[in-house]
Amino acid sequence: MKTFLFRFLFVLVLSTTSPAQTCREVVRDSSGRIVQTIDRQSQSGGTVRSTIRDASGRIIGTATTRPNSGGSSQTTYRDASGRLTGSASTQGSSSGSSRTTYRDASGRLAGSANTSRNSGFGSSTQYRDASGRLTGNQTTNGSPSGSFSGTRRDASGRLIGSSSGSGKCQGGAKVPVLPGVNGR
Strands 174-175 and 159-167: unpaired
pLDDT of residue 53: 94
Whether the pLDDT of residue 84 is over 50: the answer is: yes
Three-point CA angle 178, 26, 106, nearest 5°: 30
> Facing residues of 137 across strands?
126, 153
Q: Amino acid identity, residue 53?
A: R
**Residue 66 scores a pLDDT above 80:** yes
Coil/strand/helix, residue 69: helix
- CA 107 to chain centroid, in Å, comes to 19
pTM above 0.85, yes or no: no
* pLDDT band with cut points at 50, 70 and 90 for residue 135: very high
5-175 CATH fold: Lipocalin (2.40.128)
Least confident piece of the model among 36-40, 88-92, 115-119: 115-119
pLDDT tens digit string along 166-177?
A: 886 554 444 555
CB-CB contact of 42 with 19 (8 Å): yes
**How much is the pLDDT for 1?**
47
- Give the domain ranges of the chain: 5-175
Percent with pLDDT over 90 in the chain: 60
- 159 close to 30: Cβ distance less than 8 angstroms: yes
Residues 6+ apart with CB under 8 A from 81: none
In angstroms and rounded to an integer, the radius of gyration of the C-alpha atoms of the chain is 15
C-alpha distances out from residue 5 to 69, 80, 182, Å:
24, 12, 10
Digit-coded pLDDT (tens) for 29-49: 999 999 999 999 988 888 999
Average pLDDT over residues 122-151: 92
Question: Smallest Cα–Cα separation from 94: which of 68, 71, 119, 120?
Answer: 71
Q: Is the dihedral of CA 142, 55, 110, 85 positive or negative?
A: positive
pLDDT tens string 16-29: 334 467 889 999 99
